[in-house]
């Protein structure tokens, strides 16, 4: 039992609603096993990418920054698995190190942007009234600006750097996260377990932190998973435009920029390798995000074992 104080106990319905968003690992894996091979493959791919990005030195055969002019624009060989660029640098090594940059930027921007958006959405929905109206008008104004344009504007102010890209992408994620969180909190506030907790004398802060917030997090988790793929695309776009992480730091977008402008016709692997890395990673995040949405949506959870991917 969960106690509001030493003398008042919450009914089982309130306890069950509070813990409804928590799935055991075994139940999650059993639901996952009923899906097609695509979802499992995408998850395995993302795990491999994350491991490679965490320990790039253990899987790369060459220094991603060391030039080798004797093997300039070399095609894929046993020594250079994906060929070399115009400076003789190993493309495979740069892809792996670029994954570290992309995942770091994407994860940090999602963590910061969604954290701020979560707080704004929570305050807006819980406070209501004038506070809600003012915050939502601000969110409406920010949502009118595309993520890439907003990120470019922030970069123009603070300058291109790793920290600058993280801040720019985080700012672009705040309005959507705030809107989603507000909707989730408003839905949770209307549930019967909130009325039951109020009737039992629970304080507003306790209801917010123990009942409303936990039951509002699943949409944010799904949004964060899908947002990781979007942030990789935006970060690559900024690097392609010369507004991302400055060279010689390897980034997928920066590799595309150099290949597409000069050597794509004679060395197609310069374009294919980073392009496929971006496409596969973003697609995998999208598939996993859809999977999480289905698992945490009560309406789809009932039929998760009977649906195809």
Q: What pTM was estimated for this model as a whole?
A: 0.80
Does the residue 30 lie in any domain?
no
Burial class (CB in 10 A: 0-12, 13-18, 19+), 264: middle
Q: How confident is the model at residue 103 (pLDDT cuts 50, 70, 90)?
A: very high
Distance CA 136, CA 8 (A): 37
Long-range contacts (CB closer than 8 Å, 24 or more residues apart) made by 156-160: 156/243, 160/238, 160/242, 160/243, 160/244, 160/245, 160/246
Q: Does 7 fall in a domain?
A: no
Domain containing 205 — which CATH number?
1.10.3720.10
Residue 11, domain member (yes or no): no
What is the spatial distance between Cα 109 and Cα 166, in angstroms, rounded to a whole number? Answer: 5
How far is it, in rounded angstroms, from Cα 66 to Cα 218? 44
Whether 263 is in a domain gets the answer: yes
Tell me how far CA of residue 273 lies from CA of 76, 97, 110, in angstroms. Answer: 11, 13, 25
Spell 275-286 as b/e; 16+ CB within 10 A means b: bebbeebbebbb
Q: Is residue 291 part of a domain?
A: yes
User: How many residues make up the chain in this entry?
Assistant: 309
Q: Is 253 within a domain? A: yes
> Does residue 68 belong to any structural domain of this protein?
no
248 Cα distance to chain centroid:
25
What pLDDT digit, counting tens, does each position of 43-63 carry? 999 999 999 999 998 999 899
How far is residue 122 CA from its own chain's centroid? 20
Cβ within 8 Å of residue 138, ≥6 positions away: 175
Query: Distance between CA atoms of 277 and 257, rounded to whole angstroms?
Result: 14
Angle (nearest 5°) at CA 288 between 283 and 290: 95
The whole-number pLDDT of residue 90 equals: 92
Residue 8 has pLDDT above 80, yes or no: no
pLDDT in tens, 11-24: 444 444 444 444 44
CA distances from 151 to 1, 72, 100, 160, 234 (A): 47, 34, 20, 11, 8
Confidence grade of residue 86 (pLDDT, cut at 50, 70, 90): confident
Q: Worst-scoring range by mean pLDDT, 51-55, 77-81, 305-309?
A: 305-309
Does 60 reside within a domain?
A: no
Phi, psi for 20 (deg, rounded to 5)? -65, -30
Tell me how many domains the chain contains.
1
The residue range of the domain holding 124 is 41-55+83-301
């Amino acid at each position: 039992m969960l106690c509001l104080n030493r003398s008042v106990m919450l009914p089982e319905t309130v306890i069950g609603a509070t813990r409804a968003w928590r799935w055991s690992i075994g139940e999650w894996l059993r639901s996952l096993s009923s899906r097609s091979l695509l979802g499992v493959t995408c998850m395995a791919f993302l795990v491999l990418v994350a491991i490679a990005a965490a320990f790039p030195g253990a899987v790369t055969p060459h220094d991603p920054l060391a030039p080798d002019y004797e093997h300039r624009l070399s095609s894929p060989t046993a020594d250079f698995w994906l060929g070399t660029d115009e400076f003789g640098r190993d493309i495979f090594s740069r892809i792996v190190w670029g994954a570290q940059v992309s995942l770091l930027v994407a994860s940090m921007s999602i963590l910061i942007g969604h954290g701020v958006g979560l707080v704004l959405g929570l305050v807006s929905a819980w406070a209501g009234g004038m506070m809600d109206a003012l915050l939502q008008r601000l969110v409406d104004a920010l949502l009118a600006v595309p993520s890439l344009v907003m990120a470019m504007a922030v970069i123009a102010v603070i300058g291109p750097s790793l920290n600058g890209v993280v801040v720019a992408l985080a700012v672009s994620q705040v309005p959507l996260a705030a809107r989603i969180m507000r909707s989730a909190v408003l839905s949770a506030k209307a549930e019967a377990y909130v009325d039951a907790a109020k009737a039992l004398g629970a304080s507003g802060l306790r209801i917010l932190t123990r009942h409303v917030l936990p039951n509002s997090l699943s949409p944010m988790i799904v949004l964060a998973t899908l947002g990781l793929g979007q942030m990789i695309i935006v970060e690559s776009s900024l690097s392609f435009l010369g507004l991302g992480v400055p060279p010689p730091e390897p980034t997928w977008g920066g590799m595309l920029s150099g290949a597409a402008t000069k050597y794509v016709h004679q060395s197609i692997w310069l374009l294919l390798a980073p392009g496929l890395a971006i496409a596969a990673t973003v697609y995998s995040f999208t598939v996993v995000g859809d999977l999480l949405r289905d698992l945490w949506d009560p309406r789809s959870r009932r039929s998760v074992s009977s649906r195809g991917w």
